[in-house]
Amino acid sequence: MNTTIESFAQLELSPPILEALAGIGYETPSPIQAACIPHLRAGHDLLGEAQTGTGKTAAFALPLLDRLDLSARKPQVLVLTPTRELAIQVAEAFQRYAKNLPGFHVLPIYGGQSMVVQLRQLSRGAHVVVGTPGRVMDHIERESLDLDSLKTLVLDEADEMLRMGFIDDVEWILEHVPIERQTALFSATMPDAIRRVAHRYLRDPREVKIKAATTTVTTIRQRFCQIAVAHKLDALTRILEVEEEFDAAIVFVRTKTATVELAEKLEARGYAAAALNGDMTQQLRERVIEQLKGGGLDIVVATDVAARGLDVPRISHVINYDIPYDTEAYVHRIGRTGRAGRTGTAILFVAPREMRMLKVIERATRQPIEPLQLPSREAVADKRVAAFRHQVATVLESEDLDFFHDVVAGMEDSHNADIHDIAAALAFLAQRERPLQLPQSAGPDIATQTAARAERPPRENREAILERRRDFSDGRLQRYRIEVGRNQQATPKDIVGAIANEAGIESRFIGQINLYEDYSTVELPADLPHDVIDILRRVRVRQHQLNIRPLDRDEAQRDAARPRPGAGPRFGAKPAPRGEDAPRKPYAKPWDKPAGKPASDRPHGGKPFHTDRRDTQGTAFKPGKKKPQRDR
Ligand code: ADP
Ligand code: MG
């Protein structure tokens, strides 16, 4: 049905919107836009599945803008996004598309922004509010977000919200918005948990699924390079040097510290590079992104969280300097290139023990990842010499060299030197700042080492893959004590949420949590960098500073001696009875058990969805004990 749609005008969007799109330079609707816009215009609920970079934002923003009543400055559309960066990006997109709608107002709201400012902005009113789940919940509870006029709720990047542990918050919000509404859910993937939310809260939704690998993946050339950790930096600079069609790169690493360290090393090697991580203020992060867009920076070294959803068309290369933890992260990362119809290159560094992960990624993305032969020392030297020769040739052609002829003639006479020797000496001087040859290191060139290794790919091993999921650099977990416990109403979910958000440690690398009366213990990677621990020390859960520290030996023994009942689900598990100093059950990872919460634990008893919604409305349901985590 969509194959015939070639222009936005065919989608019956209003003239002000069409003019704005012409101004931005969109020519034809993307497939997801062509498919979704008619449904959303008609007021239907919608379940949209399409990869990142396929234009989902406009798919909902355009039709919803057309349905706004601009004379009423009250929230009519609420969009939930997993991160503040995305909230800002989506709000900016609305603003651009609404350029010709007089008086239009969109407001992003997210954790970390001053509450006072947000309350003021909200009281002034906005037609569209875009927010992260935690902050939106806050405002619903405070009744500072007026939902009386809400017509449409959009869940953007629903799978990401699930991955980040916000799904309970999202459901809470779904329970608190008016029943008479349109709901649209967008997601790059459709895991069961998301499908269940859709079935529960969407009414007779139209389903739109755009086949994976249309936009993103086919325009991205994916390559990998097997390399020992110690040689990664050398490998990266070689690649950057010889890559054709290089414009800008985003380099992914695992930790915030690594972003800073690697950016500094690249800067020292003459690249315009900067770090992008969750420790940086919003302002600073935005500046880095602006610089990258404008060409003031060519390389940004980022963590997954900081770069999520980043949309900078000139990124020609994504370098997976540290391998991602899972295939979704990989797909999100490489989606930063090959945007807006351009082609891109994704390069994955794989340590020898990570070769299995490579196979998993290939299988999940159904795309082969070609081996990349690291440029040899000679290849890099050739490239540099070629550039040098070009420079010399340009000077010979365009500069007046009379004075320098005399200087050289003078040398020839006084040293009685051969003209070739003099030229060689001058070439030597000219390249001292940026040598033409890579320094000789001991042992064989890393390029030949990688070639040899690539010849023996290790065999698949399921255990090892599962094991890898717990792996955080060297894989060891250690127990830490945090100063918040059951008496402070802390739940494992609060704790996981706070640690994941503030320290950028994904929840899957957070091990078992034991809740005690006034403190808790939590398993985290043993090799957490100091700066991460410093951040965690200051993090607050339920207003209590964590003051995290490793357990000493006695404490660890006491903690370990606690009885350990069998595994149970972490999320949605009932809180342990109060007053009993027993640890919580070890939990299964969310991906082990997508079955969600037991029905009995749902505030509304897991009834079918119609009754459910009416109940919720009729009794002005407030979620008693259940207070989902905040995004801070
Ligand atoms: P998604 O949400 O699916 O990841 P976005 O909405 O962020 O995708 O869009 C990705 C990029 O494509 C953005 O730079 C956006 O401006 C651009 N884009 C969206 N729709 C179109 C279109 N119809 N024509 C050209 N570019 C588009
Ligand atoms: Mg999006």
Smallest CA separation from ligand 1 atom 15, residue:
55
Residue 279 located in a structural domain: yes
Q: What is the CATH number for 495?
A: 3.30.70.330
Radius of gyration for the alpha carbons in the chain, expressed in angstroms and rounded: 28
Mark residue 43 as left, alpha or beta (left: phi above 0; alpha: psi -120 to 50; beta: remaining).
Answer: left
Confidence of residue 217 (pLDDT cuts 50, 70, 90): low
Query: Are the C-beta atoms of 73 and 123 separated by less than 8 Å?
Result: no
pLDDT in tens, 379-417: 888 888 988 898 899 999 888 999 999 999 988 888 888
Confidence of residue 9 (pLDDT cuts 50, 70, 90): very high
Site of tokens 């119609």: 610
Return the H-helix or E-strand segment holding 371.
strand 370-371
Q: Which numbered atom of ligand 1 lies nearest the CA of 52? A: 4
Best residue for ligand 1 mutational test, from 52, 57, 94, 332 (most atoms within 8 Å of Cβ): 57
55 alpha carbon – ligand 2 mean position (Å): 7
Confidence of residue 542 (pLDDT cuts 50, 70, 90): confident
Verify whether ligand 1 is closer than 6 Å to residue 53 (CB atom): yes
Residue 190 CA to its chain's centroid (Å): 18
Return the H-helix or E-strand segment holding 449.
helix 446-454
369 with 405, same domain? no
Q: Which of 485, 543, 553 is nearest to 514 (CA)?
A: 485
Smallest CA separation from ligand 1 atom 10, residue:
53
44 with 181, same domain? yes
Instruction: Find the mean pLDDT for residues 17-41.
Output: 91
Lowest-pLDDT choice from 73-77, 93-97, 358-362: 358-362
Residue 603 located in a structural domain: no
Domain that holds residue 485: 476-561
Lowest-pLDDT choice from 7-16, 86-95, 350-359, 572-581: 572-581
Q: What is the CATH number for 313?
A: 3.40.50.300
30 alpha carbon – ligand 2 mean position (Å): 13
243 with 125, same domain? no
pLDDT for position 308: 78
Q: Which two tokens stand for residue 376?
A: 């040899």
Lowest-pLDDT choice from 60-64, 134-138, 337-341: 337-341
Return the H-helix or E-strand segment holding 256.
helix 256-268
Looking at residue 357, its amino acid is: M
260 with 343, same domain? yes
Verify whether ligand 1 is closer than 6 Å to residue 58 (CB atom): yes
Q: Which of 303, 253, 304, 247 is nearest to 272 (CA)?
A: 247
Lowest-pLDDT choice from 416-430, 437-451, 587-601: 587-601
Residues with CB under 5 A from ligand 2 (ion): 56
Residue 60 located in a structural domain: yes
552 alpha carbon – ligand 2 mean position (Å): 45
Question: HEC states along 285-351?
Answer: HHHHHHHHHHCCCCEEEECHHHHCCCCCCCEEEEEECCCCCCHHHHHHHHCCCCCCCCCEEEEEEEC
Question: Taking 90 as the threshold, does the pLDDT of residue 178 lie above it?
Answer: yes
Instruction: Please say which residue of 521, 538, 561 terminates a domain.
Output: 561
Residue 315 CA to its chain's centroid (Å): 15
144 with 79, same domain? yes
Instruction: Please say which residue of 561, 590, 617 terminates a domain.
Output: 561
Residue 443 located in a structural domain: no
Rounded CA separation 5/3 (Å): 6
273 with 131, same domain? no
305 with 409, same domain? no
Q: Which two tokens stand for residue 82?
A: 């997993």
Burial 571-610 (b: 16+ CB within 10 A, else e): bbbeebeeeeeebbbbbeebeeeeebbeeeebbbeeeeee
Verify whether ligand 1 is closer than 6 Å to residue 219 (CB atom): no
pLDDT for position 555: 84
pLDDT in tens, 333-381: 988 888 766 788 999 999 877 888 888 888 777 778 999 988 888 888 8
Residues 6+ apart with CB under 8 A from 508: 325, 469, 470, 589, 590, 591
pLDDT for position 442: 52
Question: Taking 60 as the threshold, does the pLDDT of residue 571 lie above it?
Answer: no
pLDDT for position 531: 65
174 with 29, same domain? yes
231 with 338, same domain? yes
Question: Taking 70 as the threshold, does the pLDDT of residue 612 lie above it?
Answer: no
Residue 84 located in a structural domain: yes
Give the pairing type, strands 299-302 and 520-525. Answer: unpaired
Q: Which two tokens stand for residue 171?
A: 């459901």
369 with 391, same domain? no
Rounded CA separation 185/205 (Å): 9
Residue 458 located in a structural domain: no
Residue 229 located in a structural domain: yes
Rounded CA separation 97/106 (Å): 11
Strand order across the beta sheet in which 248-252 lies: 273-276, 299-302, 248-252, 315-320, 344-350, 220-226, 370-371
Confidence of residue 443 (pLDDT cuts 50, 70, 90): low
**Strongest mean pLDDT among 170-174, 244-248, 553-557, 594-598:** 170-174
3-state class percentages of the chain: helix first, strand second, coil last, to nearest 5 = 45, 15, 40
pLDDT for position 40: 97
Query: Are the C-beta atoms of 247 and 337 separated by less than 8 Å?
Result: no
Instruction: Please say which residue of 376, 403, 420 terminates a domain.
Output: 376
pLDDT in tens, 242-270: 887 889 999 999 888 899 999 999 998 88
Question: Quick one: what percent of the chain has pLDDT higher than 90?
Answer: 40
Q: At what angle do helices 84-97 and 56-66 cross, to 10 degrees?
A: 50
pLDDT for position 367: 76
Q: Which two tokens stand for residue 56?
A: 């989902």
Number of domains into which the chain is organized: 4
CA torsion through residues 544, 549, 555, 557, sign: positive
Verify whether ligand 1 is closer than 6 Å to residue 504 (CB atom): no
Residue 90 located in a structural domain: yes
Verify whether ligand 1 is closer than 6 Å to residue 57 (CB atom): yes
Instruction: Find the mean pLDDT for residues 446-458.
Output: 49
Query: Are the C-beta atoms of 110 and 118 separated by less than 8 Å?
Result: no
Residues making up the chain, counted from first to last? 632
Q: What is the pTM of this model?
A: 0.47
Query: Are the C-beta atoms of 374 and 88 separated by less than 8 Å?
Result: no
Question: Taking 60 as the threshold, does the pLDDT of residue 589 lie above it?
Answer: no
Instruction: Find the mean pLDDT for residues 299-304.
Output: 93
Rounded CA separation 328/334 (Å): 10
Verify whether ligand 1 is closer than 6 Å to residue 82 (CB atom): no
Q: Note the ligand closest to the C-alpha atom of 55.
A: 1
89 alpha carbon – ligand 2 mean position (Å): 9
162 with 142, same domain? yes
Lowest-pLDDT choice from 171-180, 297-306, 339-348, 382-391: 339-348
Smallest CA separation from ligand 1 atom 19, residue:
55
Lowest-pLDDT choice from 109-123, 178-192, 433-447, 562-576: 562-576
495 alpha carbon – ligand 2 mean position (Å): 28
409 with 279, same domain? no
Confidence of residue 48 (pLDDT cuts 50, 70, 90): very high
Question: HEC states along 62-86?
Answer: HHHHHCCCCCCCCCCEEEECCCHHH
Query: Are the C-beta atoms of 485 and 517 separated by less than 8 Å?
Result: yes
Confidence of residue 544 (pLDDT cuts 50, 70, 90): confident
Q: Which two tokens stand for residue 43?
A: 């007021």
pLDDT for position 590: 29
pLDDT for position 340: 66
